[in-house]
Structure 1
Amino acid sequence: MNDDLLTLLRKVDTPTVCNAIEVAQGGRGFDRFTKGTVLCSDPDTGAIVGYARTARIAAVNPPTEPADVIKARRMDYYRHMAEGPRPGVAVVEDLDGQNAVGAFWGEINTTVHKGFGLSGALTNGVMRDLGDLPPNFPVIAGSIGPSHGFVHVREIGTPVRVFGMVVKDGDLIHADRHGALIIPNADIPNLAAAIHTLLANEKLVLDPARVEGFDFDAFEKAWTEFEAART
């Protein structure tokens, strides 16, 4: 991913990228995106773009392994997050699922991850400290809660599932208030052109619809042009 594409991806929302991938692929059917409603800690910041650094946590029950094993794995987790390609995104599955209670993403943890150079976090788990999270580090989470519970790291660098989307370590992620998706490697070379094509096609309807006096006849003409141009 070159710098020009990265800049463009940060400017557009995730639905635009989702549609643009279908333009790049030449048809509908792309399905590597999250399903369901997400919460975003800072929806006005814009999109999170980066390569996934994955892990799994749990918090409902205390860990059963020895304390020194848990502490060592926690340090291995932070080492994993501090390393790897940049830009990076923390993608962390909470194994407690809908019963998740442990807010792994609070003021301290988000500040640490931002300091590592990560662009944000995607998790099906819990976030907190919403007024104190660092700027320009959005967290997209499944819920909000006050406690960290018995949160501990279970796995590092393994495939994870968040909001129905399976993510492998190193996958290229685009995420915002709408959810997240994985950009297929095969589509990266054509993605910038696809985004520009998509935005131009949308203007075929949007521009006429914003003109005073827009009516069905104007809509029918615009929509016919739009249908002919779009995927």
Structure 2
Amino acid sequence: MTLSAAEPLPASVLEALGRYDTPTICNAMEIVAPQRRLIGYTTKPLVCPFPDLPAIVGYARTATIRSVLASGLPPAEQAARRIAYYEYVGTGAGPRISVIQDIDGSDVGYGAFWGEVQSAVHKALGCLGVVTDGSIRDIPQWAEGFQALAGSVGPSHAYVHAENFGGEVRVAGMTVRSGDLIHADQHGAVVIPPDIAAMIPDAAELCGRRETPILDIARSASFSLDKLKAALKQSSEIH
């Protein structure tokens, strides 16, 4: 288990980031951190059963799971590990987001770690949601307001158990370390480096101002190609 303990950001920064959807955050990061244009976000499709929930912003609590093989640990050690995992999830800078990698290879998602119980427990521990390439279940009984992005939906938990926690994971193409700042919504998730987090809202507003003249003419009844060209030029001059 390897943990990182970055200094938490002011709550006002997290609140500002939460006003935007995840695609807008990615657009803004292209301005303030162009070197991350190809890294740091989910690149494979995930299921989102609650698309109407707002964006969530929080610090990652990471784990790896598997379900095809039963845990080889004695029952007492399994119980102790479960408690240690919950202590890890429920402590440190908050709010938090669970990021869990299913390591069952071609059988990823065979058994669901997430359902009615885990969503309720993690919400009580201070998590806002989960991003996982594993499966989830119990959608109607899911904890209210707890966001979920998952690789699939399935009926059984099989032999699911946590293999490790607090280390680096890779979920749907996104590499995450414990304590990373995560922004997620129905579209996917992105890691926000803490040194640029405070710059993201201003960059997001700039993106919006640049899009406005293009959208205005595209949605106008008087649209023409010449007007679109003029709008594109106007957009490029907004700084």
Aligned twin of 1:219: 228
Q: CA deviation at 1:228?
A: 3.9
Aligned twin of 1:42: 50
Q: State whether residues 107 and 133 of structure 1, in contact with CA within 8 Å, keep that contact through their aligned partners in structure 2.
A: yes
Aligned twin of 2:30: 22
Q: Secondary structure at the match of 1:173?
A: strand
Q: How does 1:16-165 map to 2 (within 5 A)?
A: 16-25=24-33, 29-99=37-107, 100-165=109-174
Cα RMSD for the two superposed structures: 1.6
After superposition, the C-alpha distances for 1:36-83 in whole angstroms (9 at most, x for unaligned) are 111112110021210001111111111122222222111111111111
The whole-number CA distance in structure 2 between the counterparts of 1:28 and 1:93 is 22
* Letter matched to residue 24 of structure 1: V
Aligned twin of 2:3: none
Is 1:209 paired with 2:218?
Answer: yes
Q: CA deviation at 1:84?
A: 1.3
Q: State whether residues 209 and 238 of structure 2, in contact with CA within 8 Å, keep that contact through their aligned partners in structure 1.
A: no
Is 1:10 paired with 2:18?
Answer: yes
Q: State whether residues 17 and 200 of structure 2, in contact with CA within 8 Å, keep that contact through their aligned partners in structure 1.
A: no
Unpaired runs of at least 5, structure 2: 1-8
Aligned twin of 2:5: none
Q: State whether residues 97 and 124 of structure 1, in contact with CA within 8 Å, keep that contact through their aligned partners in structure 2.
A: no
Q: Secondary structure at the match of 1:60?
A: coil
The whole-number CA distance in structure 2 between the counterparts of 1:108 and 1:210 is 46
Count of residues in Structure 1 that have an aligned counterpart in Structure 2:
230
Q: CA deviation at 1:30?
A: 4.6
Aligned twin of 2:208: 199
Q: State whether residues 68 and 111 of structure 2, in contact with CA within 8 Å, keep that contact through their aligned partners in structure 1.
A: yes
The whole-number CA distance in structure 2 between the counterparts of 1:74 and 1:121 is 17
The whole-number CA distance in structure 1 between the counterparts of 2:159 and 2:141 is 22
Instruction: Check 1:141–1:22 CA distance in 2 against 1; reply closer, same or farther (3 A cut).
Output: same
The whole-number CA distance in structure 2 between the counterparts of 1:20 and 1:210 is 23
**Which range moved further: 28-37 or 120-129?**
28-37
Q: CA deviation at 1:6?
A: 2.0
After superposition, the C-alpha distances for 1:153-197 in whole angstroms (9 at most, x for unaligned) are 110101111012110000000111111110012211311211111
* Letter matched to residue 127 of structure 2: L
Instruction: Check 1:39–1:82 CA distance in 2 against 1; reply closer, same or farther (3 A cut).
Output: same
TM-score normalized with structure 1 length? 0.94
* Letter matched to residue 66 of structure 2: A
The whole-number CA distance in structure 1 between the counterparts of 2:106 and 2:182 is 23
Dislocated runs of 4+, deviation >4 Å: none
